[in-house]
Chain A
Amino acid sequence: MRYGMVIDLKRCFGCYGCQVSCKAEHATPPGVFFARVVKRESGTYPNVRKVFLPLLCMHCETPPCEAVCPTGATSKRPDGIVDVDREVCVGCRYCMQACPYEARYFHAKTRYYFGAQGPTEYEAVGYAKHPTGVVMKCNFCAHRLERGEEPSCVLTCPTHARTFGDLDDPQSEVSRLIKERGGEPLHPELGTGPSVYYLPA
């Protein structure tokens, strides 16, 4: 079993639904984005092209973040999910420098979206589970997977650009898409073996 995701760049139209649903699911504080969408424009008028690139933790097969962690707080689970033990992390942020996908965020101190107004009820409950002084990242919504549900970004995507499944199963939808549509990971030259694949736009 190796969880993985396929993102169809032809279907993604940059609605930020994944980004918002991820923030809602994990109640991540301001400045923390387990899932985000990068938008870039290329070309000159009238030949202009807009690119949307959804980013998240790639849950690499050989995660550089895990190798550099001095405490072992970052580890790879048998199902392929790379996770951070927040009770062991010392907050050295070495993993942030090692991750080529900028998927990690340091939670320095608790802050709220509405500043001086203080936390909303949702924030008061949600932020309580995020200790400060440690690094945070996407874990493929492991708590949802345990309930047999898909990650929140996959469920929310209105164009079904995201597909989630077992990369080790050749019959799975993710394996089929990668094979038939020529899925490629981000920065394959780094040899990290990402578990997130992109289908060409």
Chain B
Amino acid sequence: MRVFADPFDRLMDDLQETARPQREWVDGRGLLLIAGHFLSGVGAGGWAFSSALGFLPGEITSLVVVGLSGLAHLLFLGRPERFWRMVRIRTSWVGRGFVGLNILMAAGVVYLVLRAAGLGGSGLASVVWGLSLLGAGIVMLYKGNVYAVCRAIPFWNSSLLPVLYVAYALRGGTALLLLFLPWTPLSAEQGLIEVLELWIGLSAGVCILFYLTIMANSSVGAKRSVEDLLRGRVAAAFYVGVVAVGFVIPVAIGILNAVTPVSMGALALVGVASLVGDFYVKYAIAKAGRYLPHVYQAR
């Protein structure tokens, strides 16, 4: 792998590639977008679970995380001062995600205020909570679709990707709650969260396996991306971040916990490892993206 100090030299090199790697959404400031996608998924998943359990620290943290994701998205934009224009939801998944994120933030804050005012059981609170869940659902759903509609990048152009991103968002939500265990035990719900985390983690792992198997037998561009993931420039991020930290560690501790109960700290470690894995899944999938080749000729 060649290293270029100057992005211009790298672009010139990329333009010679048969299937040019996409870099705008992962390198340099593109990392902010990956961070935004990661945080929005964790925040939306965290809100769905913690608000269902009525776990206030989780709810507040989730909204803060969603807010941070919005900030990361803003910093990624070339013209952040024009962010308010991103409301074209008829055909754009980015526009839908932006609207969903705002619904989640606004409804989430109003819901917490209503609860603090003692109106948590009111019909209005139920409606607002429903709205916040709608926003969370859109946020969890939009990211995978943003990638999946890109026919220019065969590796992303799969209907399985939105499923994978939703699975990881839900897993990120449970992982966020696990982080609270050493400080704020969730008593009755703890067992449920552990099982959910393990189950969703395994589901996400199966999803990735399916996804890579399909892509490995797909078009030339998608095959190149799978090669990048398994043997090429993204292999380190994939094996260390996604497989070892994000999958093997949480599942191993989860299975151990099923046999002999482990400490709260160990369960929090499951949360941390799952979150790291969640970030690396988004990073690796974005990094492995390559544009559709125009002339099928190896370099």
Binding site for B on A (CB under 8 A): 30-31, 33, 36, 38, 40-42, 51, 53, 55, 64, 67-73, 88-94, 96-102, 106-108, 111, 132-135, 186-187, 190
CA distance A85 to B241 in the complex (A): 40
Interface of B is mostly: loop
* Contact for B94 among A70, A102, A108, A132, CB less than 8 A: A70
CA distance A33 to B94 in the complex (A): 26
Binding site for A on B (CB under 8 A): 7-8, 11-12, 15, 18, 20, 22, 24-25, 76-80, 82-83, 85-88, 91-95, 98, 146-147, 149-153, 156, 289, 291-292, 294-295, 297
Cβ-defined contact, B151 with A108, below 8 A:
no
Cβ-defined contact, B151 with A64, below 8 A:
yes
> Given A94-B94, A99-B152: A69 and B88 within 8 A (CB)?
yes
Cβ-defined contact, A36 with B92, below 8 A:
no
Interface of A is mostly: loop
Residue of A nearest to B9 (CB): A31
> Given A38-B295, A42-B297, A134-B78: A70 and B92 within 8 A (CB)?
yes
Cβ-defined contact, B85 with A71, below 8 A:
yes
Closest approach, in angstroms, between the C-beta of B193 and any C-beta of chain A?
A: 35
Closest approach, in angstroms, between the C-beta of A190 and any C-beta of chain B?
A: 5
CA distance A179 to B77 in the complex (A): 44
Cβ-defined contact, A41 with B297, below 8 A:
yes
Residues of B within 8 Å of A187, CB to CB, are: 292, 294
* Contact for A72 among B76, B88, B93, B289, CB less than 8 A: B88
Cβ-defined contact, B79 with A89, below 8 A:
yes
Cβ-defined contact, A111 with B79, below 8 A:
no
Residues of A within 8 Å of B77, CB to CB, are: 90-92, 133
Closest approach, in angstroms, between the C-beta of B28 and any C-beta of chain A?
A: 8
Cβ-defined contact, B291 with A71, below 8 A:
no
Cβ-defined contact, B152 with A102, below 8 A:
yes
Cβ-defined contact, B92 with A94, below 8 A:
yes
Residues of A within 8 Å of B88, CB to CB, are: 69-72
Residue of B nearest to A86 (CB): B79
Cβ-defined contact, B78 with A100, below 8 A:
no
Residues of B within 8 Å of A94, CB to CB, are: 92, 94, 146
Cβ-defined contact, B294 with A90, below 8 A:
no
CA distance A31 to B20 in the complex (A): 14
Leading 4 A-B pairs by shortest Cβ distance: A91-B78, A133-B78, A70-B95, A70-B86
> Given A31-B8, A94-B94: A68 and B294 within 8 A (CB)?
no
Cβ-defined contact, A90 with B85, below 8 A:
yes
Residue of B nearest to A132 (CB): B78
Residue of A nearest to B93 (CB): A68
Residue of B nearest to A91 (CB): B78
Residues of A within 8 Å of B147, CB to CB, are: 97
Cβ-defined contact, B152 with A97, below 8 A:
yes
Looking at B25, B83, B151, the one whose CB has the most chain A CB atoms below 10 A away is: B151
Residue of B nearest to A89 (CB): B79
Residues of A within 8 Å of B79, CB to CB, are: 89-91, 133-134
CA distance A167 to B76 in the complex (A): 39
A-B contacts, 8 listed (Cβ < 8 Å): A53-B295, A70-B92, A71-B86, A73-B85, A92-B86, A94-B92, A100-B152, A135-B78
Residues of A within 8 Å of B151, CB to CB, are: 64, 98, 100, 190
Cβ-defined contact, A51 with B92, below 8 A:
no
Cβ-defined contact, B85 with A98, below 8 A:
no
Closest approach, in angstroms, between the C-beta of B146 and any C-beta of chain A?
A: 7
> Given A106-B24, A111-B8: A90 and B86 within 8 A (CB)?
yes
Cβ-defined contact, A38 with B294, below 8 A:
yes
CA distance A88 to B88 in the complex (A): 12
Closest approach, in angstroms, between the C-beta of A53 and any C-beta of chain B?
A: 6
CA distance A168 to B11 in the complex (A): 37
Closest approach, in angstroms, between the C-beta of B22 and any C-beta of chain A?
A: 6
Residue of A nearest to B18 (CB): A40
Residues of A within 8 Å of B8, CB to CB, are: 30-31, 111
Closest approach, in angstroms, between the C-beta of A102 and any C-beta of chain B?
A: 5
CA distance A50 to B297 in the complex (A): 10
Residue of B nearest to A108 (CB): B78
Residues of B within 8 Å of A71, CB to CB, are: 82, 85-88, 95
Residues of B within 8 Å of A132, CB to CB, are: 78
CA distance A166 to B48 in the complex (A): 54
Closest approach, in angstroms, between the C-beta of A73 and any C-beta of chain B?
A: 8
Cβ-defined contact, A97 with B24, below 8 A:
yes
Closest approach, in angstroms, between the C-beta of B87 and any C-beta of chain A?
A: 7
